[in-house]
Chain A
C-alpha cells in the first residue's frame, strides 16, 4: 500500500530535549515536505526537499532541521524544542514538485 509513515504519532516532551520525527514514503517520490498545522493559521511549510541531498527552508524553518540522505526518508529534527513548537506536524511527498501531495497521518507534539 502506497503510504507516508510518520513516527511518533504522539509525543509529549520537555523544553530543550532533542527529538526527531521520522518520515518515510514507499512511493519513490522525489519531493518531500514538512508542515505544521496550528489553529487559525492553517498548514505552514517548514522545510522541503526536491530530491536526495537537496533541502531548503519553507515559511517557518526556525528551530527545525532536516536531512535527506535517502530518497524515502525525510526526518524532522528539533534540536532544542520550545513550547511554541507544540503543534500538529505533517510530512508529505509527491512525484516531482507538481504531483499530487500525499500526507502522513500526522504527529501531535506537545512541548512542556
Chain B
C-alpha cells in the first residue's frame, strides 16, 4: 500500500463547479499535511497547509480527518486557472535520527476546468 494515495483523475469540470479531492495516508502518526499545486511541466508550489480544525483560503477549503486518515481539498467556483495537478503531501513522523520530518508526496490528482 502506498504511504499517500490519491485518485489520479483526471477530473473534468465546468467553470463555476465545486470539486473535491480526497487523499488517504497510511501512517497514523503522520505529523502535518499539505496541498501543493503543480502546473504542467512546472515545479510544485505550496497551495495550503491542512490543519486539524480545517482551514479556508478564499475558494479553497482543506480538511483533515485523523480518525479515517484522509485529507480533502474543496475548490468552489472553479476557474480555468485552477487547472493543474494537486499533490497531497504528508510529513513523516519524527524519529530522532534519519529522515526526520520527511515529506511524502501523493502522485497527484489532475483537474481540468473547462469553459
Contacts and interface: CB of A to CB of B under 8 A. Distances in A.
Given A42-B87, A42-B105, A43-B105, A56 B46 contact: no
A48 B99 contact: yes
A40 B43 contact: no
B107 A90 contact: no
A98 B99 contact: no
Contacts of A100: 46
A100 B89 CA distance: 12
Contact of B42 (A43, A45, A106): A106
A108 to B, nearest CB: 8
Contact of A58 (B32, B45, B91, B99): B99
A57 B42 CA distance: 25
Contact of B101 (A42, A56, A97): A97
Interface in A36-52: 40-45, 48, 50
Contact of A56 (B44, B45, B99): B99
A105 interface: yes
Nearest to A91: B43
Contacts of B91: 98
A56 B98 CA distance: 8
A103 B107 contact: no
A104 interface: yes
Nearest to A104: B43
Given A97-B100, A106-B41, A106-B42, 20 more contacts: A42-B87, A42-B105, A42-B107, A43-B105, A45-B99, A45-B103, A48-B99, A48-B102, A50-B100, A58-B99, A88-B41, A90-B43, A97-B101, A98-B101, A101-B103, A103-B44, A103-B45, A104-B43, A105-B43, A106-B43
Interface of B: 8, 32, 41-46, 87, 91, 98-103, 105-108
11 contacts: A42-B108, A43-B87, A44-B105, A56-B99, A90-B43, A97-B100, A100-B46, A103-B45, A104-B43, A105-B42, A108-B41
